[in-house]
Structures are given as C-alpha cells and as structure tokens.
Amino acid sequence: MGTELTSDLPSERARHVLRILVEHYIREGQPVGSRTLSLTAGLDLSPATIRNVMADLEDLGFIAAPHTSAGRIPTAKGYRFFVDTLVRLQPMAEPDVVRLQGQLEDRFRGDAKAIASAASSALSALTSLAGVVTIPRQQKATLRHIEFLPLSGRRVLAILVVNDAEVQNRILDMDRDYTEEELRRAANYLNEQFTGRDLSEVRTRLRANLDGTREYMNRLMLDSIAGHAPKAGTESAGYVLSGETKLMNFQELSDVEKIRQLFEAFGEQREILTLLDRSVAAQGVQIFIGEESGYRILDDCTIVTAPYTVGDQIVGVLGVIGPTRMAYERVIPIVEVTARLLGAALNSDPNAGPDFGLRPDLNSGS
C-alpha cells in the first residue's frame, strides 16, 4: 500500500470499500467489520485484506472505531467524501413526486405559512426525518388598494391590499398629526397612480418624487409600503419545523439529554436559522455534516438544505435535519425535488404568497 498512503485520497479500491461501508452502516446502524465487508463488498477479498484497506481509511480519517473490536463507522469526513464523490443518488419514485406536487398545490390557496408547513410535513414524511422550511418571502407584490386611518398619538394605520386578496397592515409613527382628509387624499393619490403596479416600482417612483411639493405625503406613503424590503422575515418566526419527534427514533439520538438540547435548539431558532441562511448563498443542495455546522448541539446531526426560487429569485430555504447516519442517497433527491416543486407551486400563482414583513393573519385563508 505504498502508493496510496502518500496521497490524501484513498485508492479506487479503498473508495469502493468506503462506499460499501457507509451504505451498510447507514442501513444497519451498526459498526461494520471486515468480515461483513469481505462478504458484501463484491470485491472477492479476504477479511484480512479488507482490514488493511480499513486501516488505511482510518489513517486518512474517513472511518473510526468506537472501540477495539467493534468494526468501523464513518467519520464526518468520511460522510463528506461519501456524499461528495461516492454516493449513488436514487431518484425519487415517480408516484411520490406526483403526490408531493399535489400536496403542495393543494395547500397553495392558503397563506405562506400553510404552504411552508405542507412542504415541511411532506419532507418529514418522505424522509422520516425532521423537515424544516423557511417561510417564503415574496418578492412580487402588486398594489391593489391602500387605505390610511388616523390613530391616537401621531400614529397612522396603513392598510394595504396586495396581490389581489392579501391584506397587510402596519402602524406608522409620524412626525405630526394628519387629518382624515389629508390621509384620504394620500390614499386616493396612491390608488389612482399606482394600483396594479409592483410595490418596488411604487417605492422607486415615490422616492423620485421626494423632492417635490408633496414631500411630507411622500414620506407617509413611502413608510407605508416600506418593510417590504428583503430584510424582513428574518426577525421573528422564520421557519416551520415538523416531524422533529422522528429524530427520537434514532439510537444515536436516543440519549434523552441530547434530544433535549436538540429540541431546545429548535425552540431557540437562532442557530438553525443562521445555518439555513448560510445555504441561501449556494445554489442547489447543500449539506452540513456533523461538526461542519459549527454548532456543538448538531454534532451528531446532518442538515440537508436547498434554496427554492420563484422566478429566479431565491425566496426561501428548505431541508431536513437528521442524524449524520441518514439515507443520503434518498434524502438528497427528495430535498432537491421538493425545493423545485415548492418553487414551481409558488410560481404558478401570484395570488398566494404573502409579502415579507407582514405575516398572514388569522382570519383570512387559514
């Protein structure tokens, strides 16, 4: 074994053994020994030879032994190499794809959260892992109607109807009091000028007018449609999680204390959310294995994510959380397809999504 040992990469044969080992471990959940590999690898090698190969793989850090005489299990590095170069992806079964598509479109009439929930549940059901979907931020919002109401203390209530039937409202703190008449004029102006226009367009046009005579009104109107900027949606809530109890079925996570910490992390949301945000950057499926996430709590977990798009805009991220020992060859395609289908479902009808910033309310839709 002189030749390979000098390299950082395992030999062809070692790669094959590693793949079989990882696959076997994912399937059985037990450390894999040389005898087993010798029998199942299809290489016609004796256990002793396999042991040599395994020793090499261990030196390279791809596998490790929990203790003497217990076979080997993949390390995070091993899983990483596996998903990067060894895994043989299993396309989703066609019926599953169709069903998934149906589920996402069925729910489509609901608000964004309902759709995200549906996707999350579907992910969880398909993978038997925890599904997680960030609530989509919509980038297209067409102004339908706007209304202002004066409140006490220099505050104004703005009510926007966008995308046909979606109502948003926000309370504006103003510099001075406005009369009902003033507010009505402002609303009329906006409704006349901008009904049917995209909010971003409204925003730019208003901003262009800012120097003109109607300055103070512009301020009011600008404020009323602000908060639709991309930043919103991150502050509160953020994602939908489902099927987290499924994680308890894995022995690796059957330690009560571990589960507790994991669930607490889910409740905290912070870590998970920044992790999901990280994968907005990348195109396509991204995978965080064990320590790679950088969060101690997730050391035994892998997160598989994919952003989903409307048009060519990324509007959210979805994925699953499970033990490092998950069925990558099935999970990766599922996450990939779900992201694509969710994007497609959101795309097919502009009526549905909510806008960012403001969340769907209790009475509509749901």
Distance CA 130, CA 106 (A): 22
Nearer Cβ to DNA, position 30 or 283?
A: 30
249 interacts with, out of DNA, its own copies, none, CB within 5 to 8 A per kind: its own copies
Distance CA 215, CA 69 (A): 79
12 binds its own copies (CB under 8 A): no
Q: How far is the CB of 2 from DNA (least distance, A)?
A: 5
Nearer Cβ to its own copies, position 191 or 347?
A: 191
Q: In what order do the strands lie in the sheet with 239-242?
A: 239-242, 130-134, 313-323, 301-310, 286-289
245 binds its own copies (CB under 8 A): yes
Q: How many CB atoms lie within 10 A of CB 196?
A: 7
* Tokens at 17, concatenated: 């053994």
Report which of 275, 269, 260 is spatially closest to residue 241, judged by C-alpha positions.
Answer: 269
Q: What residues does 167 pair with on adjacent strands?
A: 161
Q: How far is the CB of 325 from DNA (least distance, A)?
A: 16
Distance CA 87, CA 90 (A): 9
Q: How many CB atoms lie within 10 A of CB 41?
A: 19
363 binds its own copies (CB under 8 A): yes
Applying CB under 8 A, among 1, 9, 48, 165 the residue interacting with its own copies is 165
Q: How many CA atoms lie within 13 A of 302 on its CB side?
A: 25
Nearer Cβ to DNA, position 48 or 165?
A: 48
* Tokens at 111, concatenated: 């608000």
Segment near its own copies (CB under 8 A); pick from 84-92, 234-242, 285-293, 322-330: 234-242
Instruction: Kindly identify the residues of this chain, within the stretch 32-61, that bind DNA according to CB under 7 A.
Output: 32-36, 44-49, 51-52, 54-55, 58
Nearer Cβ to DNA, position 43 or 92?
A: 43
98 interacts with, out of DNA, its own copies, none, CB within 5 to 8 A per kind: none
Residue at token pair 């994968």:
279
* Tokens at 161, concatenated: 């109807």
List the x/- string, 132-161, binding to its own copies by CB under 8 A: ---x--------xx-x-x-xx--x-x-x-x
Instruction: Determine contact, residues 179/187, Cβ cutoff 8 Å.
Output: no
List the x/- string, 57-96, binding to DNA by CB under 7 A: -x------x-xxxxxx------------------------
Q: Is 335 helix (H, G, I), strand (E, B) or coil?
A: helix
Q: Point out which residues bind DNA (CB under 7 A).
A: 1-3, 13, 31-36, 44-49, 51-52, 54-55, 58, 65, 67-72
